[in-house]
Structure 1
Amino acid sequence: MVEAHENQPPAVASDEGVVRFASPEASGGAPHIEVPVAYDGILLASFGGPEGQDDVIPFLRNVTRGRGIPDERLEEVAHHYRHFGGVSPINEQNRALKAALEDELARRGIGLPVYWGNRNWAPYLDEAVTDAAASGHTKLIAIATSAYSSFSSCRQYREDFARVLTDTGLAGTVTIDKVRQFFDHPGFVTPFEAGVREAIAGFRADGVAPAAIRVLFSTHSVPTADAQRSGPRDVDWGEGGAYAAQHLAVAERIMTALAEEDAAIADVGWELVYQSRSGPPSQPWLEPDINDVIEGLPDAGVEAIAIVPLGFVSDHMEVLWDLDTEATEAAAGAGIRAVRTPTPGVDPAYVSGLIDLVLERVAGTPASERPHETALGPWFDVCRPACCENVRAGFKPAAAGIAP
């Protein structure tokens, strides 16, 4: 467990700014809210996905709303969903996660209801927030099913909350805070570490030398210009912004921990790779692509790879298609053994960790006492000004952060 805080990015000035749509305790804009907050409901916010062939194109229209993409082009990417009967696994996974969270809350004797809503498909966030308000639950703490800092994984959810409160007329009645980005919380990291440990042990049991094993930590690629704007703007994160820095820090933590258990694992190579790129070829996105990396591994003497879906909380479409299908096929074509390690899903450590994130806000736990596995954490409760800008659309009103 990392205890030092000297490498944590500094808070951007303007902490005096008011945070819209927030609880009174969070509205002043402090980076970490270290006073108790009496939340009365949990909002589980996710991406959403189609649940049948007839849903696919309407769902993709929702995902790409405002971009003017014709259905003909949407059908070009719809084949990922068509391949699986038009059903994305993400909704069923969220049902399982909601149930697991409710079970963990009941086990601990905590009477907080969980409301679940999606950005792009039913059940929508609008319905979840409206249902919460109708039940008298108006002080919500949100958990988004994404661990890292970027527009699509953090700020867009915060904009969703602001939009929903405005559109439903509940702004001023319902408040929505958000748990900190949990990329380095032990509950999120532990399942990945266990998966990497098991994959390496399996390869070695079959006679593969550690130096011939490579661990590929994979996450969703994003436009480079957006990545550069992730996280607080007064910190030089490098080309990939806070988004890449967070992934790299977690990957390094996992490999360092495993090498401390077994010195031979220090000979296992690893790198951060990207997947699921979309957009025009002229637009720079974070690289290298996982399939390009796999293609070159035989020349580096690699015989086996562990593909670690580090950017994903569950086995949704990008995992099933881009990793279990395309990357696995690329490995077979290169003559390399491949194992895809698990996502957190409903792993007990992950579920318990999410509840711990809620409770640290309920209790107002000091930042110095919050668990984190890298020197970048614990991340902020209230997002700093101008973080995670969408280059194409600019800033829109957002909850759980200081404007813009």
Structure 2
Amino acid sequence: MIRTHLTPRAWRALAATGLAVAVALVVAGCDTQAQDQNQPPPPDVGVAAVLSEQVQDWNDATGRIAAVESVELRPRVSGYVQRVAYAEGDEVKQGDLLFVIDPRPYRAALQRAEAELARARADAQLATTRHARAQQLIDASAISRDDFEARSAGRAEAEAAVRGAQAAVETARLDLAFTEVRAPVAGRAGRAMLTTGNLAQADASMLTTLVSQDPVHVYFETDERTYLRHQAMSREGTRTNVDNAVRVGLADETGYPHAGTVDFLDNQIDPATGTVRARAVLPNPDRRFTPGMFARVQLEGAAARPAILIDDKAVITDQDRKFVYVVGEDNTAQRRDIVPGRIVEGLRVVESGLAAGDRVIVNGVQKVFMPGMPVAPKAVAMRGGAPIEAVAKR
């Protein structure tokens, strides 16, 4: 056994060194424990599984609502307006009385024409009687051939006069009927351009306008590529050029709640714009559409295809790239670059970058600061982002 003899000063130095080491170890342990206690827990995020569904592609366009039948109502006879027989802005039926033009001059003209017809018929009757008598006399050689032919010509002239008088009566009767201006089509009548006491000129003065209400047309332009694709589908027999479905939304509506079909495609493409004019027909039983309205139009594209769908809130923009955060089995957020497509039924189509079964952060994506960050996922529904439990209770 070897004994080491230390001086008192050395013993004091050694004790001080051991105390310093012990204090350092205690401080280090406290710092490590403090760091562990100050580290925040993983953030709560809403995670939803991507949806794999059949989607229908639609081509967007803008259009205008137009009436199927639109009439500028003008008088067929001249005269002073005697009465406006409708309420401005009301819907009228075909044949309803709208305006009355003073009929008295035309009633007098009809009576005069009827009198002329009666006189012509009397003359024709007399000419017929004379012709019959002349026939008997010519058979007995009692009159000359010239007299007989003159009486025959007189009968023919009288019969022609009857036909002329009959035509005059019909014309006068039509003019009298035209003093009552009636609706040629059913629809909504505009304001009266001429009121009682004003002179209406035949075929010149406009009385009012009429526009039909149900159904309506929507005119829109579609690009050349879309037109060619529809032509190809027509040749393949999947549809004709005029049976494509359309969806329409108005300026105050979300989405495209109204459905219709294309019933007309123009016969040429505008070389200045590279578009072709199309027309769709829409039912309008509740009078939601008014001619002249702006409309957002979607034209049915190719046949339905499978696609990956996610909530658009999950998509993050990084300069010219789009990406989402996918939660793996270890509950860490991993960045996944995607190629987004169009919006379908409120969800974003993902053309590439995701696969069926991937779980995407939908709610709380702003809490994720970097890839690989641990998170506390909570299952939510992809549509609406509501918790799964809440969706199940609906």
Instruction: Give the structure-1-normalised TM-score.
Output: 0.18
Q: State the TM-score, normalized to the length of structure 2.
A: 0.19
Q: Return the structure number with greater strand share.
A: 2
* Structure with the bigger percentage of helix: 1
Structure with larger Rg: 2
